[in-house]
Structures are given as structure tokens and as C-alpha cells.
A and B are shown apart, each in its own frame.
Chain A
Amino acid sequence: MDFTIPENLKLMVETVRRFVKQDLEPVSQQVEEEDFIPEELVRKMRELGLFGLSIPQEYGGLDIGALGECLVYEELSKTNACFRTRIGTNNGIGSQGIVMDGTKEQKEKYLPRIASGEWTSCFALSEPEAGSDAANIQTTAELKGDHWALNGLKHFITNGDVADMAVVFAVTDRKKRARGGITAFIVEKTFPGFYVGAIERKMGMRGSHTSELIFDNCLVPKENVVGGEPNVGRGFATAMKTLDKGRLTMGACALGAAQKLLELSVGYAKQRVQFGKPIAEFQAIQFMLADMATQIYASRQMLYHAAWLRDTKGTSVIKEASMVKVYCTEMANRVADMAVQVFGGMGYMKDLPVERFYRDLRLTRIYEGTSEIQRLVIARELLKE
């Protein structure tokens, strides 16, 4: 067994580490308060190549593989989560449908812009009536001449407000739905009838916005069906494959945040004095630190292993990816809870980043498939074996 990380990935992690330290971390509190990432930082993210991690090289991306993406996300998640989310949709749910199922023309037109970060893409599946039960979407698309007319409302769409384009899922056959009746479309923000609705007010993830998208007779050219004419009705599979692919990286984000919380907790425990000694000398605190470190270690092994499986064996890692998503995100939530405890009252204060991590990490158990849905996937795979 060889656990060495390739040299070029190590160098990438080092670049991200420095970027976090020099550019992101110093403003993470300001971004939290203003709920906005300065454009200058987005420009730097573009220059560093962060928007194209998963895009094939022939379309201007880096295609650094699952392990590479996980390592970059892990490092980038050691600061305010909004920064990672800013590049997240271009690398993940906003592009992978096109990477996997798009036509050559679609790839040539959209992927280079996504990879460079010139355009931001987003993924619009969820609706008020369709969350975990994604097949229940109500947005419809009807063919009218050369265009499809989309009608409906999407909600909770990450980067919806800053997106230049969206991969949108709509019902094209009411009877068939998930079995041949849902189609994926590439919608540019300038298409007539496309509107950004309300920006949702969330518990955390400040600096990253989640919004409604409204389609009011939005006219989408026929050639913008993801995968073209033959893929009409095959959009649900595109959506599921896209979400499958994102699960490892979600685990990596949780892992990076947990690692940061452990480092902060160890530092604080050594320095905070109560009853005349550092609280790190109390066994109750030591045991929390030990549990945090142990669970982080376990998570890292399963994450890297699943990423390695995907990269080297090319095997389907559906079950493993769901295991990684559910385990790493729940682990990070336990770690965040313990970190707040180690910090005591200061863990609850906005002056330190611990409470922010606590809020932001809560989301990782919900989006891109809730913990319950991950367990359904794992069980389904187990029982069919």
C-alpha cells in the first residue's frame, strides 16, 4: 500500500494553504459580517485556477482527479466556508452534468468559461415541493418551435445570484417523470423569462448566497438540452450522476473544517487557564481532543481511499461516496460540537471562528443529499449485492 501524495498535488495544497493564510483568513471575519466576498478575491481565485479543478484539460481545466479535488477542498475549507462554495458549483454540480453528458458543442461553448471562472455556473434541481424527493419537481418545459419554454420556481440554489448560467431540471413528460420525463437544460442568465428571485436568509454560510430562480416562459434553444435531442427525458440520470460525483468533495470540505477546529481547540486548551492550570491538563478536555483527532483520522483514511479508488480503479464508488459524505459530515458536526465545548463561552461568541464553523458545518448534513438519503443509498447498494 502506498499512501504518498503525488508531488504536484502537494504543491497545489501548498499554494492553497498560502492563499488561505495570506488572502482569505485575514478577511474571513469581514466577509462574514458583510455577507459578501470582495471581487478582488474572486479574481485571485480565477488566477490560481481554482474554478477549473474538475474540468477536462482540453476545455481549459486542470482535471486533477478526485484525490486532487479533495485535497484542495480540504485545505480551502480551513477558513470561511463561503470561499470554497464560491468555486464549488463550477467544479461540481454546476459543471459535471455538461462534462458527463453534454454535447461537444456544449462543452466547447461552456466549459472553458466555467474552468476559467469567467462564468459562474449553478445547479437548479430543488423546488419547494421537491427536495429529497427530487423526482417530484414541478417546473415544466414545453417544446415550442425551436425553443423549450420553461415555467416554474427553483429554490435554495447556491450561487444563484452570481451565476451566469444554470443547469436546470424540468419535467418534459408528466407521466414518465424520473423514468424518462425529466430533462436537463443549460440556461443562460440572459435568456428571456429567466429571473433571480429572493435571496434566502440562512443560518450560516454568509458570504455565499442561495436564491430562488424563476422561469416565466423562459425560452431555451433546443440545442441547450444537456446532451442534445437524444437526451430529452434523460435529465434525472444526469442529476443523480452529478450529485454522486460531488459526494466525496463534500466529505473533504467537512474534513478540512474539522481539522481546523481541532487545531484551534488544541491551541486554546493549552493556553486557557482555569483552576490554576491550562484546561488541556483536565482529562475531560483531553478526551474530547483525542476523540476529535481519532475521528478526523478515520475520516481522512476513508475519504482518500474512496478518492483513490475512483481515480485509479475507475470503479463505481457510489456506496463508498455516500459513506464518505455521511460519515465525514456527521463527524465534523460532532467535532464542531466538541470544539464549542472546549472553548466554553468563547465558543459561542462571534469574536472567534468556532461558532461560525459550527453553523456552517450544520449544512453539510443537509445539502447534496441529506444524511438520511445517503443511508438509503448505502443500504440500497448493500441489499442489491
Chain B
Amino acid sequence: MKSLVCLKQVPDTETQIKVNPEGTGIVTEGIKHIINPYDEFSVEEALRLKEKFKEGEVVILAIGPDRATESIRTALAMGADRGIHVNDPAVNTADPFAVAQALAAAAKDVQYDVIFCGHRAIDDDFCEVGAMLAEFLGLPQVTLVTKVEVAADKKSAILERDIEGGKETVEVPLPCVVTSQKGLNEPRYASLPGIMKAKKKPIDAKNAAALGVSVEAKLQSKEYSMPPERKAGKKIEGLEPPDAAKQVVQALRNEAKII
């Protein structure tokens, strides 16, 4: 069972995000980066499939600057076999369209039964790359997947996906693109022995030229800004409880307009 896992490095969920003074992005200096949590579900699922079929390969494909190797290495430490690191300023910060183009180009040289993408990346939240990648490769796609059952002949899979208020079960021919949703699995840790082994696993570095693509971004970000600070709360003081309660109800009705 061969899987290609697309993986993005994102700022740690615990990071205090700050916009840079030019307003062109966030301050990346000194912040911690992690594997996009949805991509971690993908890595885990790919490893489980390989373990279940007792053969195959898990290839990690990541786009990003030098520091992204750390995330690839972590996935290799979890048990993946090798990595492909597309590191090119033209792609690293490009829009989902360009990213999906580069991923599609890189995927051409890899054998796979399934391509996993996170259903979204927790930094820019576009939720687009998986779908675009499937289009570029002409593959069927199933999004928001929470359960994967691959048929013994690896020709098809039964997948469970989230829909509003419930689950949908679909059958899909392989190869296909799956986007991982929370609930798919509990990712394993990169164990310490795994980290030692990962040191020797290959990571293939590539730029856009090597992939033979010239990406064309469709979106340009104009400006980044912080959400407005929350306004201070309102305090009702110095009243007897019954009068205070009346004031609260009035405020909820007329000012907050929530009752």
C-alpha cells in the first residue's frame, strides 16, 4: 500500500501571532512550528495502511523554507520512509493554486495508491489545496474523511466523511485524493528510536525548476491585520440584585442584541 502524504509546516497553535510591521505577513522569527495537525492525521493513516498491508511506502511531500525539513523529519521519525522537500521562494508562500500545481508536479514522480492532504491548514485556512491537487491530477477526491477502509485488492476504498450533522459513507476507486479530518485517528508520537532512524532516511530537495513547473498564483494577499481588540466588558455596579438583573437583561436585549 503506497501513500503520498502532503504535509505543511505551520505555526504552533500555542503561538502568539503578530503581524509584521509591513503588514505583508506574520512575524515568523522566533516562533515555533509544527506539522499541520490535519496532516499529522494523514501521516498516521498512511502508516496504518502500510502496516495493515505489510508492504508499501509512505512518502512525505512538503513545500516550505529550510525549517520545513524539521517537520518532514518528524514524519519520518513517526515511521514514513522518505521525504520530498520542495523549497523555492516562488512556491513557499504562494497561493493554494500555485501550491497545488507544485504538489501535482512533484507527485508525478511518485507511485501511490492514495494521496493524503489535510482538509485544511490551520494557518491560512484556505481548505483548497487537496481539491485542486485532485483536479490537476485528474483523480477522484473525497474530503473531510474520518475513516478509511481499503479493499484487499487496493483497487477501491470505502471512506467515511463528515457531513452536516452526520456521516456519509462513499466508495471510491483508487488512486484517489483523501483530505483528512479530525477524528480520523490518534497520531502516534515520533518515538526517540524513530528520531534516530529518521536521521538516515532520505529527503529529496527540489525547486520549481527541477519540478519543471512555473507556478502562476491567482491570489495576491493585499494586507494582513490583527482582529480588532475585544472591547472591555460592561460592569453593572451599586444596584440591588433585582435591579441589577433588570439592567443585565436590558443590556443583553438592546446592546448585545442576543436575547
Contact = CB atoms under 8 A, between A and B. Distances in A.
Interface residues of A, number: 19
Contact of B192 (A7, A10, A18, A64): A64
A274 interface: no
Given A8-B196, A8-B199, A11-B77, A49 B191 contact: yes
Interface string A18-44: 110000000000000000000000000
A372 interface: no
* B191, B192, B199 pick with most chain A CB within 10 angstroms: B192
A50 B195 CA distance: 12
Contacts of A50: 192
A62 B192 contact: yes
A7 B189 contact: no
B216 interface: no
Contact of B191 (A8, A48, A57): A48
A344 B198 CA distance: 47
Main secondary structure of the interface of B (DSSP, over half): helix
A316 interface: no
A223 B193 CA distance: 31
Give the size category of B's interface with A: 10 to 19
A14 interface: yes
Contacts of A12: 192, 195
A19 B196 contact: no
Interface string B198-221: 110000000000000000000000
A15 B192 contact: yes
A307 to B, nearest CB: 17
A49 B189 CA distance: 11
13 contacts: A7-B73, A8-B195, A8-B199, A11-B77, A11-B198, A15-B190, A15-B195, A47-B191, A48-B191, A49-B194, A62-B193, A62-B196, A64-B192
Given A7-B73, A15-B190, 19 more contacts: A7-B69, A8-B196, A8-B199, A10-B70, A11-B73, A11-B190, A11-B198, A14-B190, A15-B191, A15-B192, A19-B189, A47-B189, A50-B192, A53-B192, A57-B196, A62-B192, A64-B192, A64-B196, A72-B192
